[in-house]
Structure 1
Amino acid sequence: MNASRILIFTGGRLGRWALDLIRDDDYLIGADSGALFLVRNGRRPNISLGDFDSVTPQQLAEIREASLEMQDFDPVDKDFTDTELAFQLAVSKQPDEIVLLGALGTRFDHTLANVHLLRTAHGQGIRMAIMDEHNTIRVTASKLSLRRSPFPYISLLPLSDVVRGITLDGFQYPLREATLEIGQSLGISNALVGEQGVVSIREGLLLVIESRD
């Protein structure tokens, strides 16, 4: 099965904003309590998976009843987080795009691990974004076009040790053939000046983060 777009709902911050992103032809994966969120909001996950240590037995029964497919994992005898298990499943289906929702919660270790999944998706040739109510996070190794959105701030952070040849067109603070190294904040809080802007790089992997307060 080759889905055009896969949405992964995991156990971080979720809300109505996440439901509004669902299209009719999206393939929905619910990871642990992310599956409960989908079910409680009238959505049938194509598959729900995880160790389900964040839900009660009664809630797990709800998930099992409403999901088209289930995959249960032992909470001790597993090597990956529920989010990464869902991500691995999504990658195996070779979609055009993966959107990860509920991945930016209060646990910074989980948040950072989830951001690193962008690099893995890129290596597989799959477009991926991590989204919540305040952020959209993507990665590029070449060129990324951005349109004006409800997220006014655009920040650039290296995901590789060094990113070279950074050129920004259509931004308040333009760059030409700039270099960013991990630990530098030069790329924080830029903005578009018009309806569209382009981020281009020659070497490395660059996180492009659209955000709002």
Structure 2
Amino acid sequence: MKAWALSGAPKQLWPKDLNQQLLTAKKSGDLIIGVDRGALLLKEMGMKIDVAEGDFDSLQKNELRLIEQNVRDIRYSIPEKDLTDTEMAIRCAFIDYHVSYLTLFGATGGRLDHFLSNLFMVLKPEFNQFAEKIELIDQQNSIRFYNCGHHVIKKLSTYKYFGVIPLTAVKNLKIAGAKYNLNDFNGVNPISFSSNEFLLNVNQFGLSFEKGVVAVIQSRDVNRFQNIK
């Protein structure tokens, strides 16, 4: 079983087919999680929610009552806690429900401090064990995480670009079989090797490194040639 979770980032940043993705997931018997205000947003979308997780400080009292009347498994927390609501949802999904994979929506937009918490959460020992089973998706990006080793990164059909972002110190980082390759990079600080591309008619590239944690972001432009008028 997989899990799909929605946090409360602005809906303008959601994938345009979010509703269809969640409907398909529900029909497959996957777990649907609402994270804080994300639970209300799922309810407003007409989704049947399996778990609501959070301190719910972003809900009005009547909105919280609506969630309580419609969700069987509600995980309450207090605002003053060591883990974020998203981290609590990850713990619930993998530890309590034993899911094989978790896709998070609404985890990248809005407040930048929230986004950075979600980006770096896989560095915590408790969550690093799940790093390669977590994906963050919004309208323009898919973010996945990798621990050291050899990986084959498959191209997602609707994305043109990719970036490789060491989140920690890395040793002998290599990108092979891409438009721009990289050989034996060693670094101690986070850095973004951005705007890379898959080779024409080659839908994968090789990624390897001997130390650290790396994020791979596949991305696409939205209204690249916009004008003010």
TM-score in same-fold range (> 0.5):
yes
Deviations 1:144-181 (A, max 9, x none): 32224222110011022124241322x22233x33152
Task: Give, in whole Å, the separation in 2 of the partners of 1:178 and 1:201.
Answer: 9
Query: More deviation in 111-120 or 188-197?
Result: 111-120
In 2: Cα distance, 1:79 partner to 1:122 partner: 16
Cα distance in 2 for residues equivalent to 1:129 and 1:66: 27
SS of the residue corresponding to residue 90 of structure 2 reads: helix
SS in 1 for 2:75: strand
CA distance in 2, matches of 1:116, 1:62: 32
User: Partners in 1 of 2:5 and 2:136 — Cα distance?
Assistant: 10
Choose 34-43 or 194-203, whichever is displaced more.
194-203
User: What's 1:130 paired with?
Assistant: 136
Q: Does 1:44 align with 2:48?
A: yes
Residue type at the aligned position of 2:215? L
The alpha-carbon distance between structure 1 residues 126 and 208, as it changes in their structure 2 partners (threshold 3 A), is: closer
Equivalent in the alignment of 2:216:
208
For 1:122 and 1:103, the matched residues in 2 are separated by 17
Question: Which residue of the partner structure matches residue 91 of structure 1?
Answer: 94
Task: Please give the alpha-carbon distance, in whole angstroms, between the structure 1 residues aligned to 2:87 and 2:216.
Answer: 21
TM-score w.r.t. the length of structure 2 is 0.81
Describe the shift of the 1:153–1:107 C-alpha distance in structure 2 as closer, same or farther (beyond 3 A).
same
Which has the larger helix fraction?
A: 2
Distance, in Å, in 1 between the alignment partners of 2:156 and 2:33 is 29
Which residue number corresponds to residue 189 of structure 1? 195
Residue of structure 2 in register with 1:80 after alignment = 83
Aligned equivalent of 2:74, options 48, 70, 73: 70
TM-score (norm 1): 0.86
The reply to whether residue 113 of structure 1 matches residue 117 of structure 2 is yes
Within the candidate set 7, 10, 21, 2:7 is matched to 10
Structure 2 equivalent of residue 160 of structure 1 = 168
Structure 2 unaligned runs (5+)? Answer: 222-229
- What is the aligned length? 206
Q: What is the Cα deviation at residue 45 of structure 1?
A: 1.1
- Point out where structure 1 has 5 or more consecutive residues left out of the alignment: none
Find the aligned partners of 1:63 and 1:30 in 2 and give their Cα distance.
Answer: 10
Sort the Cα spacing of 1:173 and 1:132 in 2 relative to 1 into closer, same or farther, 3 A. same
Q: Is 2:181 aligned against 1:178?
A: no
Deviation at 1:124, TM superposition (A): 3.9
